[in-house]
Structure 1
Amino acid sequence: MTKTAPPHHPRVVKSDAEWRAILTPEQYEVTRGHGTERACSSPLNHEKRAGNFACVCCGAPLFRAGTKFDSGTGWPSFFEPVDGAVTEHDDRAWFMHRTEVRCAACDAHLGHVFPDGPPPTGRRYCMNGVALRFEPEGGSDAA
């Protein structure tokens, strides 16, 4: 299933060299190379302030802080993305069948979604913290 980029954020297209120039090696490996960060390695696991989680590549808003929950998996988890902010794709890598989640604006790999989340959606968006940037409500002290 593929959706278009949300109307509040334009589509972002860059060359591989441009992405490498603006991202850290770990950010690049996860978001552009479809990697996975080590569990429990992201400081965003413990982020509890009001605000939004945006794409580290393009800045598109992806998740509201109020949708974040402690899944016990070691990765930041959310039960619902911002409307139209992500796309979902069939992922059969590593002999598994999963649903990959990407940024709708720049196609960055963010993580995967699973059907074992809390109400009201029953979905767990298990995201790589390195693919996200926290933007606190009021706009100060971004992580």
Structure 2
Amino acid sequence: MTPRLEAVTPQNFETAVALRVRPGQEHAVAPVVRSLAEAYVHPDGVAWPRLITDGGRAVGFVMAYFDIDWHGDGSLYRSGLWRLNIAAGEQGRGYGRFAVEAVAAELRRRGDTRLHASWHPGPHGPGDFYARLGFRLTGETDGDQVVGVLEL
């Protein structure tokens, strides 16, 4: 496995938006096209969308956020994992771990000490995945999602 992150460009846009998670997971993560639209409408530098590739093959998509005004009132700024979509046939191969570790490295490079993430709780959600990576629940919620943090 030699995964890498690539910026989403006009050349790989169609590949990125064609990525699909497993059936039954669609409720838990927005499609890549929505993530790219959200990246476009936020101020420059806030969103960091990346295609995850391995051997030239698209295996997933990750989008981080940097210094988002968490409450919308200037009282708390956070950085973290905004989206993680691993293609249906590629799950369980370490690409999710790779993506989270790559986001953590980018946050460290920018001087951050915490990586935040939110996810749908429950038996079919990704909570166990995030716990194995070292995330701990903060006790906060973001809509119907729980919020976790990884100390960097």
Same fold (TM over 0.5): no
TM-score by length of 2: 0.27
Q: Where is the helix percentage greater, Structure 1 or Structure 2?
A: 2
Q: Where is the strand percentage greater, Structure 1 or Structure 2?
A: 2
